[in-house]
A and B are shown apart, each in its own frame.
Chain A
Amino acid sequence: MANMLANIFGTSPVRPLEKHVEIAFRCAKKLRPFFAAAVKGKWDVAASIRDEIEQLEHDADDLKKEIRLNLPKSLFMPVPRQDLLELLLVQDKIANRTKDVSGLVIGRKMRIPAEIAAEFVEFVDRNIDAAKQARKSVRELDELFTAGFRGAEVELVAGLIEELDRIETDTDEKQASLRAALFKIEKSLDPIDAMFMYQVIELTGEIADMAERVGRRLELLLSH
Chain B
Amino acid sequence: MEAQYIYIGLAAVFGLFMAWGIGANDVANAMATSVGSKALTIKQAILVAAVFEFLGAVLAGGAVTSTIRKGIVDAELFSGSPELLIYGMLASLLAAGTWLLIASRNGWPVSTTHSIVGAIVGFAAVGIGIDAVQWEQIGTIVISWVVSPFTSGFIAFLIYLSVQKLILHHADPLAQAKRYVPIYIFFAALTITLVTILKGLKHVGLDLSLQDSYWLAIGIAACVAVIGAIFISRIKSDPKAEKSQHFYTVERVFAVLMIITACGMAFAHGSNDVANAIGPLAAVIGIATTGTVAAKSALPIWVLVIGGVGIVIGLATYGRHVIATVGEKITQLTPSRGFAAELAAATTIVIASGTGIPISTTHTLVGAVLGVGLARGIDAIDLRVVSRIMVSWVVTIPAGALLSITFFFLFKAILP
Contact = CB atoms under 8 A, between A and B. Distances in A.
B93 to A, nearest CB: 24
A6 B106 CA distance: 12
A78 B32 contact: no
B373 A152 contact: no
Given A12-B380, A143-B245, A151-B170, A5 B109 contact: yes
B203 interface: no
A75 B107 contact: no
Interface in B14-42: 29, 32
A116 interface: no
Interface string A1-36: 111111111111110000000000000000000000
A149 B362 CA distance: 29
B245 A147 contact: yes
A7 B381 contact: no
A145 B245 contact: no
A114 interface: no
Contacts of A140: 243
B247 A7 contact: no
B389 A5 contact: yes
Contact of A76 (B32, B168, B366, B381): B381
Nearest to B362: A5
B109 A4 contact: yes
Interface in B333-384: 333-334, 336, 362, 366, 369, 373, 375-384
B389 to A, nearest CB: 5
Interface string A133-163: 0000001100101111111110010000000
B325 A3 contact: yes
Interface of B is mostly: helix
A74 interface: yes
A78 B247 contact: no
Residue of A2, A146, A147 contacting most chain B CB atoms (<10 Å)? A146
Given A77-B379, A149-B376, A9 B107 contact: no
A152 B291 CA distance: 70
Interface string A86-113: 0000000000000000000000000000
Contacts of B333: 9
Contacts of B336: 146
B164 interface: yes
Contact of B107 (A2, A78, A156): A2
B202 interface: no
Nearest to A148: B376
A8 B245 contact: no
Contact of A152 (B109, B169, B366, B385): B169
Nearest to B163: A148
Interface residues of A, number: 34
B262 to A, nearest CB: 16
A72 interface: yes
Nearest to B391: A4
Interface in A13-72: 13-14, 71-72
Nearest to A77: B380
Nearest to B333: A9
Interface in B309-348: 321-322, 325-326, 328-330, 332-334, 336
A152 B171 contact: yes
A6 to B, nearest CB: 3
Contact of A72 (B109, B334, B369, B384): B384
Nearest to A152: B171
B32 A5 contact: yes
Contacts of A1: 105-107, 321, 325
Contacts of A75: 380-383
Given A140-B243, A146-B168, A152-B245, A5 B326 contact: yes
B381 A9 contact: yes
Residue of A2, A6, A75, A76 contacting most chain B CB atoms (<10 Å)? A6
B245 A156 contact: yes
B211 interface: no
B169 A147 contact: yes
Nearest to B32: A5
A11 B168 contact: no
A88 to B, nearest CB: 14
A38 B339 CA distance: 57
A13 to B, nearest CB: 7
B332 A7 contact: no
Nearest to B388: A4
Contacts of A74: 382-385
A78 B389 contact: no
Contact of A3 (B322, B377, B382): B322
B108 interface: yes
B235 interface: no
A9 B234 CA distance: 32
18 contacts: A3-B107, A3-B322, A3-B329, A5-B109, A9-B378, A9-B380, A10-B380, A10-B382, A14-B379, A72-B382, A78-B376, A143-B243, A143-B247, A147-B168, A147-B169, A148-B169, A148-B376, A153-B168
Interface of B: 29, 32, 105-109, 164, 168-171, 173, 243-245, 247, 321-322, 325-326, 328-330, 332-334, 336, 362, 366, 369, 373, 375-386, 388-389, 392
Given A9-B381, A13-B380, 16 more contacts: A4-B388, A5-B362, A6-B326, A6-B329, A8-B330, A8-B381, A8-B382, A74-B385, A75-B383, A77-B381, A139-B243, A145-B379, A146-B168, A147-B247, A148-B375, A153-B245
Of all A-B residue pairs in the complex, the 3 with the closest CB atoms, nearest first, are A151-B169, A6-B329, A78-B376
